[in-house]
Structure 1
Amino acid sequence: MNEPAEAELICSAKGCRTPAVWVLAWNNPKLHTPDRRKTWLACDEHREYLSRFLSLRDFLKDVVPLPDWRAQEAER
């Protein structure tokens, strides 16, 4: 039996359909515990824009290349 293909991960920027290459880990300290991480995905073009958006709100915790994030998640 064939396994389903993994869905292509796309950039989280509004209207962007480009494949993601970055993971932006963030949390809202008013809503989340300090160890909780939410994620947005970004293409090269939108990484800086999305990072700046989260940083201005003091939400951004880390920016990691997607393959590295997947490797970290696989270890957990």
Structure 2
Amino acid sequence: MTTVRLLPVRMWNMCPSSLFGGIADFDVGFEDTVTYVVEQLTPLYIEAARAPKGTKFINLDMEEYRDLRLTMEVFKRPALQSRAA
């Protein structure tokens, strides 16, 4: 597993559709795309959760309206919900 460290900033604004380039190029279904994005975001959420309270904020944002469904599905996953505050 790759070690993830957040830069010493308070807020991260992440767009699932652009943070991990090539999602649209995957030859997989929607569910596989959501799973991939969650797997990539989970280490960042873990790192933010370990930081002192109030020092890290991750904003899961959609870049375009067409990404609404992907953004919502990613956010609703238990792996991220359990670390969201």
Q: TM-score, normalised by structure 1?
A: 0.33
Q: Larger Cα Rg: Structure 1 or Structure 2?
A: 1
**Which protein has the bigger helix share?**
2
TM-score by length of 2: 0.30
